[in-house]
């Protein structure tokens, strides 16, 4: 049954029509709202490439049914975290460290790290590695990613 929903995405109200209440948030963000930040990687919550912030928490949008969102939940994607004109400190640090190869996982790395720094502004290297333990990268960019998070935290 088609259902109208209003979502707060990157500070804007977005109205979407959803056929199935079980539709994962990822598909609404990508297919209905045309966002490129959150990425489809596994659909199982295993890799982290779909990560978004919901009320400041890093959440896997591929296993988050859109109907389960709390009314008024604030959704932020990589696009909303910061743009070319106003980079988020984590984004700036990723560019500084050239912390990407194919970059497909990088959305999750940045969103997870930004959430970490919100709660723990000065994590040590081991804490960063632990916080990203459930985010997969296949290209082997891990070391640059860790350095970028350290740089953003001002601990490099």
Partner 1 sequence: MNAPTLSRRSLLLQGGALVVGFSLTGRDALAQPVFAPVATNGFSKPVAPDQVDSFLALGADGRATIFSGKVDLGTGIKTALAQMAAEELDLPLERVTVVQGDTALTPDQGPTYGSLSIQKGGVEIRQAAATARTRLVRLAAERLGLPAEALVSENGTVRPKAGGTGITYAELIKDGRLDLKIDPAVTTKDPATFALVGKSVARIDIPEKITGRFTYMQDYRVPGMVHARVVRPPTIGAELQSVDETSVAGIPGVIRVVRQGNFLAVVAEKEWAAVKAAGQLKATWSRWEGLPEQDKLWQHVRATRVTKDDVTSSTGDAESALGQAARVLEASYDFAIHTHGSIGPSCAIAEFKDGLLTCWTASQMTHALRKQLAAMTGLAPEAVRCIYVEGSGCYGRNGHEDAAGDAALLARAVGRPVRVQWSRADEHGWDPKGPPTLIDLKAGLDGQGNVAAWSSQFHVPEGAAGNVPLVAADLAGLPHETTMSPGNIIQNSALPYAFPNVRTICHRLATTPFRPSWIRTPGRMQNTYANEAFLDECAAAAGTDPLDYRLRALKDPRGIEVLKRAAEIAGWQSRPSPAKEASGDVLRGRGLSYVKYELNRTYVAGVAEVEVDRRTGRVRVPRFFVAQDCGQIINPDGVRNQVDGNVIQTVSRVLMEEVTFDRGAVTSLDWTSYPILTFPDVPEVVIDLIDRPTEKPWGAGEPSAAIVPAAISNAIFDATGVRLRSVPFTPAKVKAALQAT
Rule CB under 8 A: is residue 61 a binding residue for partner 1?
no
Rule CB under 8 A: is residue 132 a binding residue for partner 1?
yes
Smallest gap from residue 32 Cβ to partner 1 (A): 8
Distance CA 16, CA 36 (A): 17
Beta strand segments in the chain, E: 3-9, 12-18, 51-54, 57-60, 74-76
Burial of 49 by CB count in 10 Å (0-12 exposed, 13-18 middle, 19+ buried)?
Answer: buried
Answer for which of 11, 12, 13, 44 binds partner 1 (CB under 8 A) is: 44
CB within 8 Å of 120: residues ≥ 6 apart:
127, 131
* Site map (CB under 8 A) of partner 1, residues 3-22, x = contact: ----------------xx--
- Where do contacts with partner 1 occur on this chain (CB under 8 A)? 2, 19-20, 23-24, 27, 30-31, 34-37, 39-44, 46-47, 49, 77-79, 82-84, 87, 91, 94-95, 98, 100-107, 110, 126, 128-130, 132-146
């Amino acid at each position: 049954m088609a259902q109208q929903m209003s979502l707060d995405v990157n500070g804007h109200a977005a109205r979407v029509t959803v056929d199935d209440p079980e539709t994962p948030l990822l598909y609404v963000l990508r297919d209905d709202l045309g966002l490129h930040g959150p990425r489809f990687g596994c659909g199982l919550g295993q890799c982290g490439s779909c990560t978004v912030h919901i009320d400041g928490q890093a959440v896997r949008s591929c296993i988050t049914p859109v109907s389960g969102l709390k009314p008024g939940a604030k959704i932020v994607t990589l696009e909303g975290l910061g743009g070319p004109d106003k980079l988020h400190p984590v984004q700036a640090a990723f560019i500084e460290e050239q912390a990407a190869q194919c970059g497909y996982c990088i959305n999750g790395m940045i969103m997870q790290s930004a959430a970490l720094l919100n709660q723990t502004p000065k994590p040590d290297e081991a804490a960063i590695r632990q916080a990203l333990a459930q985010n997969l990268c296949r290209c082997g960019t891990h070391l640059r990613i860790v350095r970028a998070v350290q740089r953003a935290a001002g601990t490099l």
